[in-house]
Amino acid sequence: MAFVSDIRALEASLAHRTAAAAKGLAQRISDRRMYRRTVRELQALDARELADLGLSRSMIPAVAHEAVYGKN
């Protein structure tokens, strides 16, 4: 009986890890989409609008990264 319990525990653990991996992957895909969208929207601004925000074009990737992923 212990053998059957061990197999079920292993199957449950594998299912849990697989679900967690799928959830993590979905989150990374969502974050990447948000990053690209943020970069596109900032790149669409003209120089004056960027200056009003206190940004230069070279700062766009870093600002978008911080907005989506937070400070590292």
- Quick: pLDDT tens for 12-69: 788 888 999 999 999 999 999 999 999 999 999 999 999 999 999 999 999 999 999 9
Specify the amino acid at residue 19: A
This prediction's pTM: 0.76
- Region at 70 (left for phi over 0; alpha for psi -120 to 50; beta for the rest): left
Other CB atoms within a 10 A radius of the CB of residue 42 amount to 19
Q: How far apart are CA 33 and CA 49, in angstroms?
A: 23
Helices marked H in 1-72: 2-43, 47-52, 60-69
